[in-house]
């Protein structure tokens, strides 16, 4: 698969963890009045909300033209999930720091 064929998927997976996952997690913690969640709690909640968009990840048809991109999406999804869980997603970690510092 060429780089230009996966570029948009790469950008989506770069942004979705903090645009969807972290943003929704922050609102959840605010509404619950939890000003200092642990990093682990924050990561889990971020991942919980990110997983809610999984139907989009599986939305391409199973036709032969889409086999490679579907495999790539699954691979990227797993990498992104692991980085969130392990604390290796710098944007999610920065959002956590911002929330607990400025809530």
Q: How far apart are CA 54 and CA 77, in angstroms?
A: 9
Long-range CB pairs of 3-9, under 8 A, 24+ apart, other chains included: 5/68, 5/69, 6/69, 6/72, 9/69, 9/72, 9/73, 9/76
pLDDT digits (tens, 9 = 90+) for 6-18: 999 999 999 999 9
The full 3-state SS of the chain, as one line of letters, equals CCHHHHHHHHHHHHHHHHHHHHHHHHHHHHHHCCCCCCHHHHHHHHHHHHHCCHHHHCCCCCCHHHHHHHHHHHHHHHHHHHHHHHCCCHHHHHHHHHHHHHC
Mean pLDDT of 42-60: 97
What's the total number of domains in the chain? 1
- Among 72, 26, 82, residue whose Cα is nearest residue 49: 26
Range of the domain at 37: 3-102
pTM: 0.92
Q: How far apart are CA 29 and CA 94, in angstroms?
A: 16
Mean pLDDT of 39-45: 98
- Give me the pLDDT at residue 47, please: 98
pLDDT over threshold 90, residue 5: no
Confidence of residue 41 (pLDDT cuts 50, 70, 90): very high
């Amino acid at each position: 698969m060429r780089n230009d064929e996966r570029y948009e998927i790469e950008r989506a997976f770069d942004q979705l963890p903090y645009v969807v996952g972290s943003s929704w997690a922050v609102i959840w913690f605010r509404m619950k009045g939890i000003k200092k969640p642990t990093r682990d709690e924050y990561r889990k909640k971020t991942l919980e909300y990110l997983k809610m968009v999984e139907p989009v990840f599986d939305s391409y048809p199973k036709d032969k033209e889409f086999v490679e991109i579907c495999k790539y999406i699954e691979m990227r999804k797993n990498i992104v999930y692991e980085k969130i869980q392990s604390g290796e997603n710098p944007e999610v970690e920065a959002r956590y720091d911002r929330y607990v510092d400025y809530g």
